């Protein structure tokens, strides 16, 4: 197959492989020029920023402010939201841990605040969960913790607090008693909740 190129109003026939080599070479040259330009711009920006920055070293006994992130619904230091402080009271440096890491003398209420560092001994292995072909798993009811009757305008709904096999007590859920009686009738045999006579 031949490729037709018009140069100075004259037709020239060339092979595609020659054109491909030419365009590939031009493209590589342009990419190299662009990369060089980006590196020059990046180096310029670094030099501007580094003029204003300085390395700070602290000594044991110095007092420093502690930078606190915005931990929503976990911790609050003073005001909440946008007005919460970015840094809190100066604390004394007890020990130098690394080139830019220091141990501070924190009050007892702040001693437990730290980023979590993973540790294989912290892993809690659960019993194997059998996953069904549709990528779901069925939870097994272990025990019924409580019973409550929810009063609505026209009717009342009996609810039971259910403890599931793969969850803790704090993750127990309220489920309709009628549905639980159908599915787990063995847990309801005999006594009915709230009825001391049976």
Does residue 129 have a pLDDT over 50? yes
In this structure, how many other beta carbons lie within 10 angstroms of the beta carbon of residue 17? 9
| C-alpha triplet 140, 146, 150: angle, nearest 5° | 110
Query: Taking a C-beta distance cutoff of 8 angstroms, is the pair 171, 164 a contact?
Result: yes
Instruction: Give me the pLDDT at residue 128, please.
Output: 62
Distant-in-sequence, close-in-space partners of 150: CB < 8 Å, separation ≥ 6: 156, 157, 158, 159
Of 96-110, 130-144, 166-180, the least confident:
130-144
pLDDT interval class at 149 (50, 70, 90) = very high
- Looking at residue 1, its pLDDT comes to 44
What pLDDT does 116 receive?
61
pLDDT of residue 24: 79
Domain edges within the chain = 3-50, 63-110, 141-187
Q: What is the mean pLDDT of the chain?
A: 75
Determine the pLDDT at residue 33.
Answer: 92
Exposure b/e, 86-104, CB count within 10 A at least 16 = b: eeeeebebeeeeeeeebee
Identify the pLDDT of residue 194.
46
pLDDT digits (tens, 9 = 90+) for 98-122: 888 888 888 877 766 666 666 676 6
pTM comes to 0.33
Strand blocks (E) in 97-170: 102-104, 141-151, 156-164
Q: Is the pLDDT of residue 5 over 60?
A: no
Instruction: Tell me what pLDDT residue 28 has.
Output: 86
Over the stretch 36-50, which tens digit does the pLDDT of each residue have? 999 999 999 988 888
Spatial separation of the C-alpha atoms in residues 181 and 187, rounded to whole Å: 8
* C-beta of residue 129 within 8 angstroms of C-beta of residue 166: yes
Residue by residue, DSSP assigns 170-194 as GG-EEEEHHHHHHH-GGGTSSPPTT
Query: Alpha-carbon dihedral of residues 12, 18, 21, 27, nearest 10 degrees?
Result: 10
β-strands 173-176, 3-7 pairing: unpaired
For residue range 54-97, list pLDDT tens digits in order: 778 888 998 888 877 665 544 555 566 666 677 777 889 999 98
């Amino acid at each position: 197959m031949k490729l037709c190129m018009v140069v100075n109003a004259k037709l020239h026939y060339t092979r595609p492989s020659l054109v491909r080599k030419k365009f590939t070479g031009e493209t590589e040259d342009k990419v190299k020029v662009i990369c060089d330009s980006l590196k020059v711009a990046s180096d310029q920006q670094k030099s501007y920023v580094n003029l204003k920055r300085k390395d700070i070293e602290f000594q044991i006994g110095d007092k420093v402010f502690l930078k606190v992130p915005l931990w929503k619904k976990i911790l609050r230091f003073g005001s909440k939201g946008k007005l919460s402080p970015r840094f809190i009271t100066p604390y004394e440096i007890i020990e130098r841990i690394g080139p830019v890491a220091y141990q501070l003398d924190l009050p007892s209420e702040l001693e437990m605040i730290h980023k979590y560092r993973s540790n294989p001994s912290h892993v809690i292995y659960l019993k194997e969960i059998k996953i069904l072909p549709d990528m779901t798993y069925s939870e097994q009811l272990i025990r019924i913790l409580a019973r409550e009757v929810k009063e609505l305008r026209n009717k009342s709904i009996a609810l039971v607090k259910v403890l599931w096999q793969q969850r803790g007590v704090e993750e127990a859920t309220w489920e309709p008693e009628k549905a639980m009686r159908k599915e787990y009738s063995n847990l309801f045999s005999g006594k009915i909740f709230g009825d001391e006579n049976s």
